[in-house]
Amino acid sequence: MTIDLRPDLVVEIPIPSVCKLMKNMKNIKNMKTGGRELLEPHMMGAPSE
């Protein structure tokens, strides 16, 4: 599964992380902040190619 953050930036996210994100989205009123907090660790830890 890929999520297009920008036309020139595609981030691949493991399915378990997506499920975790979906669950947290339901519990977070501010989805933008919640999504950012959940996605940033994956983006920081992702190997740069």
The 10s digit of each residue's pLDDT in 1-49 is: 555 666 665 666 667 777 787 777 676 655 555 555 666 655 555 555 4
- Would you state the structure tokens that stand for residue 39, as one six-digit string? 């996605």
Assess contact for 38 and 24: CB atoms under 8 A: yes
List of residues 6+ apart from 12 with CB closer than 8 A = 1, 2, 46
| Residue 16: per-residue pLDDT | 78
At residue 5, what are phi and psi to the nearest 5 degrees? -80, -40
| Residue 33: per-residue pLDDT | 57
| Residue 22: per-residue pLDDT | 75
